[in-house]
Amino acid sequence: MERKRVSHTTPRSLALVAITLSFVTLTVIPFGNAAAQGREPFSTVGISISISQDFASSDFQRSWDTTPAIDVSAAMPFYFGEIRASVRAIHAHSSELTDINSAFVNVGWGGSMQVAGPVRAQASLAAGSMYMSFVDEPVSFRRSESELAVGVRAGLSAAVHSNMQVLLWTEWQHAFTSTPVDFVLAGVGFQYDFPAPGWLRRFLN
């Protein structure tokens, strides 16, 4: 099935989101070290699951309808800020073109600051690979593709229990494919934190 060529032009709204989130990440959030945030490096593991929806309106979104994305992440406090490994799965459907299954596998770094009570502002940067599978592609060597992708995220977290957080976030994701693909996602999720196993702390330290 034919793949439609996507325009290289990124809408102004996507560029504005990227600039705004980058500014928040790099200047507004004061990334203190992990100890200053009350956590030793590699002392805890935070497992989070989020669901998000793409609100971009580029040529890609005019050709494909994206289903809600699912994010699964594991995070640990670092010497400076926090490190995170994540996978995001998105399915894109088209009645005229091939469906696309994608997975953004990435690692990221970020930080947070207290806003009020249990609420914290968060921001992070991520980079990784966006794997794409073209469901109805008849040519075997064109059925899959993998390209560099980056993400910039800003959001809020609120502690609802000693080891449970609610997450609200927005993220701009850009894939450096031959015809670039952008997503602007808004998501909600939960994160569960627990002490890191001793063997893992010893290995990372």
Q: Could you report the per-residue pLDDT of 133-146, keeping only the tens digit for each?
A: 998 776 666 788 89
The two three-digit tokens of residue 69, written as one number: 């994305």
* Residue 104 counted as domain residue: yes
Q: What is the pTM of this model?
A: 0.82
Q: Identify the domain containing residue 138 by its residue range.
A: 12-204
* Residue 3 counted as domain residue: no
The per-residue pLDDT for 17 is: 57
Question: What CATH number does the domain containing 155 carry?
Answer: 2.40.160.20
* Residue 133 counted as domain residue: yes
* Residue 91 counted as domain residue: yes
Q: What is the DSSP string of 7-63?
A: PSPPPHHHHHHHHHHHHIIIIIS---BTGGGT--TT-EEEEEEEEEEE---SHHHHH
User: 118's torsion region: left (phi>0), alpha (psi -120 to 50) or beta?
Assistant: alpha
Distance CA 15, CA 22 (A): 10
* Residue 5 counted as domain residue: no
* Residue 147 counted as domain residue: yes
The per-residue pLDDT for 26 is: 55
* Residue 4 counted as domain residue: no
Give how many domains the chain has, as a whole number. 1
The per-residue pLDDT for 163 is: 93
In angstroms, what CA-CA distances link 143 with 2, 90, 101?
11, 16, 11
The per-residue pLDDT for 2 is: 41
User: Which residues does the chain have with pLDDT short of 50?
Assistant: 1-12, 36
The per-residue pLDDT for 8 is: 39
Return the exposure string of 159-193: e unless at least 16 CB atoms fall within 10 Å of the residue's CB, then b.
Answer: eeeeeebbbebbbbbbbebeebbbbbbebebebeb
Distance CA 18, CA 68 (A): 21
The per-residue pLDDT for 205 is: 79
* Residue 7 counted as domain residue: no
